[in-house]
Every structure is written in structure tokens, then in C-alpha cells.
Chains A and B, each alone.
Chain A
């Protein structure tokens, strides 16, 4: 094979010599600084530009890999930023709702933020970032713009533990908005509230709003609790049970209010 190539090269040696001499002459020629030669160099560059394409293609390809990595990193960074902006937007929306709620409410409210959940094993609770310094006391109602959350149980200087309505020990006096029936709601382990001992002759429709009754020293009246999911007869046969879907998703709350005043409640003389 090598011999064949060598023989072939020898057979065209005069042509190879021509190429070598022409190349040398061209290189000498192109080393001139005159405008004609500069123009010639430009024309040669144009004509032989395609030679650079494979190298450029390879360079571009390797550049593309690097660029792709950089773009992926940039994409991740922008995704994170986008998530943060969405978060800020949602927070903004929530705060706007809360501000509106605070303005329209006659209650004396202490704004707070949830900083932890499930802080005590004894009952379902959340930890909020206000305490005695902000005027918080035990047994104050904790609400959001969407409804009732629970009550304060342990108050520190700067933090407070709140028992939320998901706790089985939680009891709340409620009324059905349309049927005007009152009852005591307690939490059922299946995830819904239940109001027992509703007279059988009362008609309660699914979807009916359930509000706080106001017969409480802790909870102000007419705070939304949830809506009726279904009504079913009690085992005794004399009463019926209403299952309540809470209006507040406790796992999603972040900004809440502690109700400081209790002017709605008039102690019996």
C-alpha cells in the first residue's frame, strides 16, 4: 500500500513540484503590502472560505455543548427565580386579601405569620410569631380571611402555640347560615368536622355555609368555618349529623390574625 502511494507520488512528482513552487510564489506574492495584493487576499479568503467551515462547524459544535450547559444552568437559575417571583406574587395576593379583610373587620386583629406546624405532640397545633409583647393572651381566636383556624393555648414573649381545629379535642360553637341551626362542631379523624344532634326536622342542604355562633368567649360571631358536605341521620334515629368541609386549609396558611378584643361577648349578669 505504502509502495503504491509512493509510486503514485513519484509518477506525479512534476505536478507536485508545480504545486510546491506555486505555493511558495503565492506566499511570497501575498506577503506584499500593496492594495492590489490586499484585494487579492480578500478575494482568496472569499473563495476559500469554505475550507474554514468544517473547523468552524467543529468549534461551533463544541461551543454548543458548552453553551448548552450554560443555558441549562441559566434555565435552572431562572426557574428558581420564577418560582420565587410566583411565591412573592401569591404572598402579595394573600396579603392584599388580608389587608382588605382587616380593614373591613370590626375586630381588633394582631397580624402574625405561621413559623412552624405540629409543634406539640399533644394536639394539632401551629406556632405563630407573635406573643405577649404583641398583646396575645391564651384563648384568643386565630383566624384568616377565609375563616377560623383555632385558638391560642400557650403564649410566649414572641411566639404562640395555636391549637387548630384539626385537633380532636377542639370544640366550636357553630351555626348554619341558612337554616339558622346552632350546634357544636368537633373534628373527626377522617378529615372533616361534624355537628351532631341536629334535630331531624331541620333541613340542611349540602353547600350551606357554617359560621361561628358567637356564643363563645373565644370566637367572634359570623366567622366562616366551612360548608356542609353532607347530612346523614344519626344512629339513634332522632337526630342528624352534618359533615363540614373546613374553609381553611391549615397546611397552606401562612398569614393569620389573632383576635384581641372580645367585645362581642356579653357575660351573663
Chain B
């Protein structure tokens, strides 16, 4: 438990560093992958809904506080939902087919970015469709690419 906690904190610090220092260099058309979200997804998948959402809330709040995120509380909100969604998959991974798991992962990431961008562009003249295809979908795909790469190379016991 203590080891897991320390590992989580260590990975959180690493993710914050990557997000703050490296991700800006990976920006494509102003969009970058969300390594913090990737960490939340892994924690949720491995530890379940309660730990996943608590970790997502804490990580998001820290990210917002140090300026990596957006408005204070926005990343916390989005990553809490993502942590919960990832935690659902932990209990279902033995019953759901891999396809469902992939779809669920995509859905969780989409919902996360949907929350982020809809709030970010709230009050602007941009339509929801434009926000979705230009920002949400692209950011989700960009993040999912890194998620699957990390999952593959880290050889985590995940479907």
C-alpha cells in the first residue's frame, strides 16, 4: 500500500514534469497529448473506481494549481470522471471483450477532453461540432496514441 502510494506520487511528479516540460514541444496545431490523463487511466484501470477518481481529482487539482491545466478545478473535474471511467473497466476487464474495452477507453478520453474544451470555449462563437472535431477528437486521438504506446511498452497486464 505504501509502496503503491509512493509509486503513484512518483509517477504523478513524472507526469507533471513531462506535461509541463516536454508536452509543449510535442504540440501539433496547438494541441498536445495529456500525459496526466494517461497516468489517471492506468491508475484507474489497475486500482479501480475509488482510487482512480481520487487520483484523478488530486492530479487534476495539482495540474490546475501549477498552471499546467486550465481553470482551477477544470482538470480536477475532467480527470475525476476519467479516473472513475477507467475504474469501471477494472471490474469489467474479465467480462468485456477487448473491443468493448478499447471503446470504453476511447469514450473515457473523449469525455475528458469534451469537458475540458467545452468549458474552455464556453461563451465563444465556436460551434460544439467544431470544438469536437477540431479539438476534442484530435486531442483524444493524440493522447490515445501515447496511451497505447506506453501500455504496449510498459507491458502492463491490461487488455
Which A residues contact B (CB, under 8 angstroms)?
13-14, 17-18, 21-22, 24-32, 34-40, 43
Q: Smallest Cβ distance from B84 to chain A, in angstroms? A: 5
Complex contact A25–B73 (CB within 8 A): yes
Complex contact A32–B77 (CB within 8 A): no
In-complex Cβ contact of A40 among B54, B80, B122 (8 A): B122
In Å, the complex CA distance between A22 and B57 comes to: 8
Complex contact A32–B123 (CB within 8 A): no
B140 within 8 A of A: no
Which residue of B is nearest A14, CB measured?
A: B49
Complex contact B119–A40 (CB within 8 A): yes
In-complex Cβ contact of A27 among B73, B74, B119, B123 (8 A): B73
* Given contacts A14-B50, A31-B72, A36-B121, A25 and B61 within 8 Å (CB-CB): yes
Complex contact B80–A25 (CB within 8 A): yes
Complex contact A21–B57 (CB within 8 A): yes
Complex contact A21–B53 (CB within 8 A): yes
Complex contact B73–A36 (CB within 8 A): no
Complex contact B53–A43 (CB within 8 A): no
B81 within 8 A of A: yes
Complex contact A25–B53 (CB within 8 A): no
Q: Which residues of B contact A37 (CB under 8 A)?
A: 71, 119, 122
Number of A-B contacts (CB under 8 A): 73
Q: Which residues of A contact B122 (CB under 8 A)?
A: 36-37, 39-40, 43
In Å, the complex CA distance between A25 and B81 comes to: 11
Q: Which residues of A contact B48 (CB under 8 A)?
A: 14
Main secondary structure of the interface of B (DSSP, over half): helix
Q: Smallest Cβ distance from B99 to chain A, in angstroms? A: 25
B33 within 8 A of A: no
In Å, the complex CA distance between A38 and B120 comes to: 11
Complex contact B50–A17 (CB within 8 A): yes
Complex contact A25–B84 (CB within 8 A): no
Q: Which residues of A contact B124 (CB under 8 A)?
A: 36
In-complex Cβ contact of A28 among B50, B53, B73, B120 (8 A): B73
Which residue of B is nearest A29, CB measured?
A: B73
Complex contact A14–B87 (CB within 8 A): yes
In Å, the complex CA distance between A184 and B50 comes to: 116
B76 within 8 A of A: yes
Complex contact A32–B71 (CB within 8 A): yes
In-complex Cβ contact of B74 among A21, A29, A38 (8 A): A29
Closest 5 CB pairs of A and B: A39-B123, A28-B73, A29-B73, A25-B77, A25-B76
In Å, the complex CA distance between A36 and B122 comes to: 5
Complex contact B80–A32 (CB within 8 A): no
Q: What are 20 A-B pairs with beta-carbon distances under 8 A?
A: A14-B48, A14-B84, A17-B50, A21-B80, A22-B80, A25-B61, A25-B76, A26-B73, A29-B72, A29-B74, A29-B76, A29-B77, A29-B119, A30-B73, A31-B72, A32-B73, A36-B121, A37-B122, A39-B123, A40-B119
Q: CB within 8 Å of A: which of B80-126? A: 80-81, 84, 87, 119-124
Complex contact A29–B71 (CB within 8 A): yes
Which residue of A is nearest B121, CB measured?
A: A36
In Å, the complex CA distance between A21 and B75 comes to: 12
Q: A25-B60, A35-B123 are in contact. List 14 more A-B contacts (CB 8 A).
A: A13-B50, A14-B50, A14-B84, A18-B80, A21-B76, A21-B80, A25-B73, A25-B77, A29-B74, A29-B119, A31-B73, A36-B124, A37-B71, A37-B119
